[in-house]
Structure formats: structure tokens, C-alpha cells
Structure 1
């Protein structure tokens, strides 16, 4: 008793052309429409017109065409008597013994539908008059989210609490149509001519979903940025719409049980903008600097800095050339060598008065500091070249200077 499957995928085909009147989805529907009554239409190669039927009310012998991407739900006295998720042509007959009450297909997960069917199925024999509704099984786009002030979450990579204002969109999917209709859709949308649309600003149920998504953004961001599989990088969120959708869907499920209690899930997201607060922007700058000085790239940056220092010192002849860089009186220069400074040491000691007795022969003057050994210095410079701290050009310039070339 119930639905008889006449043909699968027969819409627009010969069978549909032969039916002069039937029920199907209304024309001109918005792509965000989720639930609406079946409407009578005439086919017969475009020449027929169904004027006998009433919106959403079928009787024995009524023919119904289910398009791709939609499911058919039949109800009596608020109870579900039939469900078809396969596109095709159906006929309703409450007396037929070979009819079925439920069909699964078109990507619907059978265990979900079966569980809801057993929970809400009609008790008894359905009557000859039923109400017919179509429910969207495809993704419903253009559901928006956004925050008016900063939301905050703990970030594992930055090791701090971060904050941002964000906005974007997500797509909804009705994963369990039976549960969705029975547990979430308000009764007024089960009247003829009503359309349940998630983007309708006058739809209080849709507004509730919006508020729950906004309330789940902070835990969703935290869940994403603290997941090692995502690289713990906050900046990857805008590049990973599917990954963030999974985090947001998990957050709304954890907080509000969208899937288990309402038959809904978030399929995809698109983050339009994230505006970090001042402290977070400063943290991100510090992370970028740290990244620039870590690993192989950090070694390259350090070598470039050292080479630039040698080049600047070589151009500053008044400061003693390349070997005067970083040296001062009493401090160590390159390789820890002491650079003697005139006027410092024994020669600067005050003169003592000569004794009354005859003075011994004057001691020879203290020898001048020995000239710097160019071989030792070139050896040191070669070691720095091999370590990658200076370039070949820096080494050749120093060698020419030491050798007077």
C-alpha cells in the first residue's frame, strides 16, 4: 500500500508525456528552497493543464514525478506514510499490495533513513488522501555567517589567545529528510503554498540556525587551528574550505546536534574575510620573523646578513677596513685576536722620579707591536669562507688587501 514505482528517471520521457496530469515541484523555485508542497501540473507535450488537483493533496491514482535532487515525502495527519528518494515516476494507491512505503537511493544513506522511518512511521493503514511534499537533497547555498565583534579562541601554534572578526557563507545539506521534517520544520511550512527557505529572513527556524553557527565559530576556529593534521596554522583556514567546513560542522553538532537531532549538516564553507585584532596581527608578524630565521631559509638569511656586514665594513676605510669591523679598544676582533691600541699599556704609565744614585743605562725602547701575520689572517678568512659566513668575493677582497695587491 502506498507508492508504486512506475519508472526510474522517466522525467521528460515518454511516460511523463503520456501523463496528462501529475504532481511535481513548482516552477520558479529559489535554489535555496528546502521544503515545499507538490503542485499539480499538466504535461501531454505541453498542451495539457491539470486543474482538478489541489496543491499538495494526492488521492488514489495520483501520479507524481520526482526530479533529480529531490525527495518525496507523503504525510497523513502529521505522520509520514511514504518516502521516495529516487528520481522517477510514482503512483499512489493505498490499496495496492505490491506498493512500498519507503525507497532509499540517490546518495541518501540508507541506515539514517531507515532509523528515522522506524521512529516516525505511520501506525496503521494510510488513507486514500495524502499530503505530498518535496524536500531538497542537494546542497543548499548562500547561507551566510558573520560576527559583529571579535571572537576569541586558543591557538596552539601561536601559543596564545587570538581574536578576529569574520564573515562568509556555507552550504547546507539535509542528510535525513524524515528527521528534518518531523523534528525541525515548523508546522506552518506544512501548509499548501508554503516554502521553507533557509535564507528567508522571516524564517525563525533559519534565523536560529544562523545564531547557532555564529555561536559555533570560536570552537570551530579552535578545533581547526589546534588540529596537527591541519598544520596548526591559522592562515590556512581561508585556503581550506572543506577542512574548515568539517570543523564547523563538528562544532555545531557538538553544541546543537544538527545531524543527530535535526537531519542537517554543513557541507562546505567559504570564508570571505578574517580581520584579526591588533594583538593577533602583532603575533603573526613575530611568527613570520621567526619562520624567516628558521631552517635552511634562516641559514641563508644569516649568511646574507654577515656578508652585508663585511661589505659595509670594507667600504668604511676610515674605520680600519674589513678587519676593523666590530673591534674596539680592549675587545676581541675576528677569531678572538686582541688589537693593541696606542696609549694603552706600559707606555702610558706615569714617569717615576730618578733615584739620587747614578742611573743605569737607559733600557732600549719597547719594540713596536709585531705586524699582523697575513698567513694566519688568510687562514682564518678561508675558514669563514668554508663555513659559508662570507662569499668568495669577500674572501678575494680581503686577500688582496692583506697582500697589498
Structure 2
């Protein structure tokens, strides 16, 4: 029975996977960086190919790429194609299909060959091809807040004061290949910056850069002047370049925009500044 079942599964699976596919990205949300390509199995209830195997993309299948999105094709775990231009594309190096325009005998030979290959693997396809989509838009809503007071060495007051800040920044994936190879874990088809595990290292590096840039202003601005210098501080963090903290070189992404919502000093620092001003006036 095992031999018959495996053979039947190989024939049935090969035939089902011969249907041409329409591949589109799964739904993105505001924080999503990577989604899998999914087969559009139904069109107004008329589609019937909903049981094809994972990892199989047939020749002449259609791949649709939206605006500001990269489609990355993997074959046997290796990256083979990158599409960043929006539009529809036809797969030419997929698995043979009995519905292509080649000679019928060749198509049947391909089906028999694929069935035999599956028979050797217990009815499962040996090929593994996958498509993922990478979001190339600005990914907004990355909130930050200083985890504790940051020391601000104020040259005017000649003291180490404390600053608290919060805001948001946007991330943009500039190099989707490097991003997938160096930042996203292997064999991952869905990735979101809403996940703390995805952003914890970036957040720590951002706060370190924020602190360094903040203290770079201490020789010019008193702590009481900082709330009016949020744009200057934001530009200081990025340094006028795209490669803050080497993210572009390391991970293929960069900070696009920083919005500092508030900068305020701690209560202890307020008291020190108040006492300093009182002494000067007395």
C-alpha cells in the first residue's frame, strides 16, 4: 500500500503543480518588511488550483510586483532573481508545465520525469523555489524614548545635567538583497519591525547615536535651549548621510527621517538650573 500510495501521490502532485500560477504578495501592514509570495488560487470563485505544493513554481506563471516593492526569488535556498520594477513578469526557469506551448510529447515526458522524481522522494517535490517581497517604502512609526535620563554635559552651566527625549523615526530598505542576507534570519518569509526581536539592536544603536549627537550640541546650546533645536539634533544624528551607524553598509537599510516629539530635562536638572539662575540674580 505504501508503494501504491507514494506513486499515486507523485502522479497527482505533479499534475496539480503543472497549473500555471499567479503569484502576488501577502498583505503588508505599516511595519511589515518582508512577506511571502502567495499563489492567487481563486478569482471571483472560479479558480480551482488551490492544492499545489509549496516550493513549486511552474514555467509561464505570472509574478506581480507592486510599486516600491522588490520581489526576490530563491531557488534551493539561493537567491537567483531580484525584481524591483513594478509590473507583471513571467517565470521562465520554473518547473515544467503540461500547459506550456511546447510539444505535447515533451510536456508529457516532463510530467512523467517529475512524477518519477517525486516517487523517489515519497511523493514530495524535490525542487524548492520561493518568492518573497520586500517593502521598499519608508517604514514609519518606529517609536523611541530614552530608557533613562541621558547625561548632557552643559558647557554653559559647567555641569552634567540629565535629558529625557522621545519621538519616532522612519526606516527605508535601500538594498533588499543585503537586508535579506545580513539582517533577516534564514528561511524567513515574514518579517516585521513591529517585533521587538527585529528592532532591539537597532534601537540600542539609535539611542547610542542619539546620546552622542546630543552631547555634540552641549558646547553650543544650553540645556534649556534644546527643545527648540530638535531639527538640528535630528540632522546631527543622521550626520547628513544615509548610513547612520553603518546600517546601510551592514544591513541594507537606513534612517530616513527623525521626528523628535519632546526634549526635556529631569527634575533634578531643573532644580540645578533654577538654583544656578537664582544665585546669579542674587
- Tell me the TM-score normalized by structure 2: 0.66
- 1:199 partnered with 2:199: no
- Mapped to 2, the partners of 1:237 and 1:56 lie a distance apart of 53
Give the 3-state SS of the residue equivalent to 1:48 in structure 2.
coil
Residue-pair matches, total = 227
- 1:266 partnered with 2:263: no
For structure 2, the 5+ residue unaligned runs are 1-19, 95-125
Larger RCO, structures 1/2 (Cα 8 Å, 6+ apart): 2
**1:38–1:55: 8 Å Cα contact kept in structure 2?**
no
- Mapped to 2, the partners of 1:56 and 1:269 lie a distance apart of 40
Aligned to 2:207: 214
Cα distance change on mapping 1:254 and 1:31 into 2, 3 Å: closer
> What RMSD over aligned residues (CA atoms) do the two structures have, in Å?
3.8
**1:59–1:128: 8 Å Cα contact kept in structure 2?**
no
Aligned to 2:26: 26
After superposition, the C-alpha distances for 1:341-377 in whole angstroms (9 at most, x for unaligned) are xxxxxxxxxxxxxxxxxxxxxxxxxxxxxxxxxxxxx
- Tell me the TM-score normalized by structure 1: 0.48
Give the 3-state SS of the residue equivalent to 1:131 in structure 2.
strand
Q: How does 1:379-398 map to 2 (within 5 A)?
A: none
Max Rg structure: 1
- Mapped to 1, the partners of 2:128 and 2:134 lie a distance apart of 20
Cα distance change on mapping 1:88 and 1:56 into 2, 3 Å: farther
Q: How does 1:145-156 map to 2 (within 5 A)?
A: 145-154=144-153
Decide which structure has greater strand share.
Answer: 2
Aligned to 1:7: none
- Mapped to 2, the partners of 1:227 and 1:189 lie a distance apart of 47
Cα distance change on mapping 1:212 and 1:283 into 2, 3 Å: same
After superposition, the C-alpha distances for 1:135-184 in whole angstroms (9 at most, x for unaligned) are 00001112121123211244567776442111222111111111111111
Cα distance change on mapping 1:21 and 1:173 into 2, 3 Å: same
Q: How does 1:2-401 map to 2 (within 5 A)?
A: 21-27=21-27, 29-42=28-41, 44=43, 47-48=46-47, 50-54=49-53, 57-94=56-93, 130-154=129-153, 161-190=160-189, 195-201=190-196, 204-223=197-216, 234-238=226-230, 240=231, 244-250=233-239, 256-278=245-267, 280-281=269-270
